[in-house]
A = this chain, B = another copy of it.
């Protein structure tokens, strides 16, 4: 028996596939706030019936990415400034706790991997990948924490915020500043300074929150008080 086995039970169902695709589209901003999710349109796109699509939509609804109204359909939900701020605050708390737990367990290999992601982020010319690399960097560091529940919860918070973080990276200095802060965090981790890494991470997230708030305030001043929901 030389064949390399593969756990077939891990192959995703059709519903899981559709879910992943829709989730990606939403967090990358491809599907925007308010966009409707038509079941049979999506079903045709994936060559399935509507059943797996409905499964995907209920998953998305549980994650808070879409809202389903009975007999009306599902729409992508965006965040008000207040909601986004609250989730940023949530991230400050959990990210700090997680990285503080992670630092003592970081191996040189993990630091090296994180550094590689960091430089990839710095040199990526395509803004489309910034969001992914940013997220990968943070998650790589957190990987050492061995706190799966915290990470799952964080993952959900990131999913809700990602669209806005990506927008923020595109702002003036957003990318450069994020990169500088990543390097600082990385160095704190490398020298085993858990509290330092936590403080820097909090500052990093709080900075993203504040610049995004300013940005949204400007937009709202321009277009009037739109969709406060």
* In the complex, chain B residues whose CB is within 8 Å of the CB of A176: none
**B149 with A9: CB separation less than 8 A:** no
Given contact pairs A13-B70, A54-B55, A90-B149, A62 touches B63 in the complex (Cβ within 8 A): yes
Q: With the chains together, A15 CA to B87 CA distance in Å?
A: 29
**CB of A11 within 8 Å of the partner chain:** yes
Enumerate A52-67 residues with CB–CB distance to B below 8 Å. Answer: 54-55, 58-59, 62-64
**A150 with B15: CB separation less than 8 A:** no
* In the complex, chain B residues whose CB is within 8 Å of the CB of A55: 54-55, 58
**CB of A83 within 8 Å of the partner chain:** yes
Q: How far apart are A123's CB and chain B's nearest CB, in angstroms?
A: 34
**CB of A47 within 8 Å of the partner chain:** no
**B70 with A150: CB separation less than 8 A:** no
**B58 with A150: CB separation less than 8 A:** no
**CB of A112 within 8 Å of the partner chain:** no
> In this complex, which of A55, A62, A69, A147 has the most chain B Cβ atoms within 10 angstroms of its Cβ?
A62
Given contact pairs A15-B58, A58-B59, A62-B59, A86 touches B148 in the complex (Cβ within 8 A): yes
**A11 with B59: CB separation less than 8 A:** no
**CB of A94 within 8 Å of the partner chain:** yes
* In the complex, chain B residues whose CB is within 8 Å of the CB of A58: 15, 55, 58-59, 62
Q: Interface SS of chain A: helix, strand, loop or mixed? A: helix
Among B9, B15, B64, B148, contact of A152 (Cβ-Cβ < 8 Å): B64
Given contact pairs A13-B70, A55-B54, A153 touches B90 in the complex (Cβ within 8 A): yes
**B70 with A11: CB separation less than 8 A:** yes
Given contact pairs A54-B55, A86-B150, A149-B87, A9 touches B70 in the complex (Cβ within 8 A): yes
A to B CB contacts below 8 Å, 24 in the list: A9-B70, A13-B70, A51-B51, A54-B55, A55-B55, A58-B59, A58-B62, A59-B62, A62-B62, A62-B63, A64-B152, A83-B149, A86-B147, A86-B150, A87-B149, A89-B97, A90-B94, A90-B153, A93-B93, A93-B97, A149-B157, A149-B160, A153-B156, A153-B157
